[in-house]
Homo-oligomer: A and B are copies of this chain.
Amino acid sequence: MKIGFIGMGIMGSRMAANLQKKGHELVLFNRTREKARPLLDLGASWADTPAALGRLVQIVITMLSKPDAVAEVALHGNHSLLDALAPDSLWIDCTTVNPSFSRRLAGEAAARQIRFLDAPVAGSKGPAEAGQLIFFVGGRSQDVDTARPLFEAMGKAVCPMGGHGTGSAMKMVNNIILGQAMTAFAEALAFGETLGISKQAIFEILATSPVTAPFLNTKRQKFENDDYSVEFPLQWMHKDLHLAAETAFETGAALPGMNAAKELYALAIRNGLAAEDFMAVYKVLAKKQ
């Protein structure tokens, strides 16, 4: 069965590659065709529009940058995905979006008798490449069952959370912790250095400490080498926290710490660090004088 895949960014290209490796026949669409080239060379098909893609598949996965990009591809204009998909086909949106937006997409899909799952992921470039992502999934369990082989080709865990929007909700919950874990650690490193404790010594102590989020150890080499090359772009972290702020406004939640972290990433972007790894927020805090 052919699988449609829309979005060939850092994440999407790696996720699609894993589907291809597991033998799935892919039809691809991306804003720029060039990024799809490696998978096309390995046998994937290309569609010129989301609608053209939609007419060729029963299952489609979208992995885009933000809600607007999903709306653009799926809902708007004359070549939209949703108007082309056949009834009873399944749309899996892996983009990080607001839960209310996921519910809106589910509604738009339902109006066309299309099945829908919101299925954003935990994990960045490395886990995407290694097929080690975690999927937080919102939607009906029979649809999760349909999608499970695909999730398993791209990740190591599938977490059904409940109805439509709960996958996106869990992603927001996850990001609130992730975004602050990094700013807190960056503060701790920069602060420790003002007290004469090196980054190496801090990692030595904290690597196995129960106060340290384990993912931070994956950044150890990079921090020690002042290497901020991108795995998860800082501007995406900022965007994800902004989405969480939007959702908190909708639900009436207060997130003082998250907003403080969000503004640290905003300052980092001000300082030209948008495209570096999100660990580069450390540079805003580190002593420069």
**B residues within 8 A CB of A248?**
191, 194, 266
Residues A181 and B183 in contact, CB atoms below 8 Å apart = no
- CA–CA, A280 and B267, complex, Å: 16
A173 to B111, CA, bound (A): 41
- A187, closest chain B residue (CB): B255
B266 and A289: CB pair below 8 A?
Answer: no
Query: In the complex, which residue of chain B has the Cβ closest to the Cβ of A251?
Result: B194
CA of A30 to CA of B45, assembled, Å = 53
Interface centre among A122, A180, A239 (most CB of B within 10 A): A180
Out of B174, B177, B196, B272, which one reaches A288, CB within 8 Å? B272
Which of B197, B212, B255 touches A177 (beta carbons < 8 Å)?
B212
Any chain B CB within 8 A of the CB of A172?
A: yes
Measured CB to CB, the nearest residue on chain B to A287 is B270
Given the interface pairs A177-B184, A197-B162, A263-B259, the reply to whether A210 lies near B215 with Cβ below 8 Å is yes
Interface pair A259/B260, CB less than 8 Å apart: yes
Tallying the copies of this chain within the complex gives 4
CB distance from A236 to the nearest CB of B (A): 13
Residues of B contacting A189 with CB < 8 Å?
A: 173
Whether A196 contacts B169 by the Cβ 8 Å rule is yes
Chain B residue nearest to A246 in the complex (CB): B246
Q: Are A192 and B210 in contact (CB under 8 A)?
A: no
Q: Quote the shortest CB–CB distance from A96 to chain B (angstroms).
A: 14
- Distance of A75 from chain B, by nearest CB (Å): 14
Min distance, Cβ A228 to any Cβ of chain B, angstroms: 15
- CB of A176 within 8 A of CB of B197, answer no
- Residue in chain B with minimal CB distance to A247: B195
Known contacts being A173-B191, A197-B169, A251-B195, is A184 close to B257, with CB within 8 Å? yes
Query: In the complex, are the beta carbons of B170 and A205 less than 8 A apart?
Result: yes
Neighbouring B residues of A215 by C-beta, 8 Å: 210-211
- State the CA gap A185–B178 with chains docked (Å): 10
Residues A256 and B263 in contact, CB atoms below 8 Å apart? yes
Complex contact A191–B289 (CB within 8 A) = no
Contacts of A181 in B (CB 8 A): 181, 184, 211, 213
A242 interfacial contact with B, CB 8 Å: yes
Say yes or no: A264 contacts B257, CB within 8 Å. Answer: yes
Q: How close is A54's CB to chain B, nearest CB, in angstroms?
A: 25
A218-253 interface (Cβ within 8 A of B): 218, 238-239, 242, 244-249, 251-253
Closest to A262 in B: B259
Given contacts A187-B253, A255-B266, 16 further A-B contacts (CB under 8 A): A165-B195, A166-B197, A169-B196, A176-B187, A177-B206, A181-B181, A191-B253, A194-B252, A195-B247, A210-B214, A213-B213, A246-B246, A249-B266, A254-B270, A270-B288, A271-B289
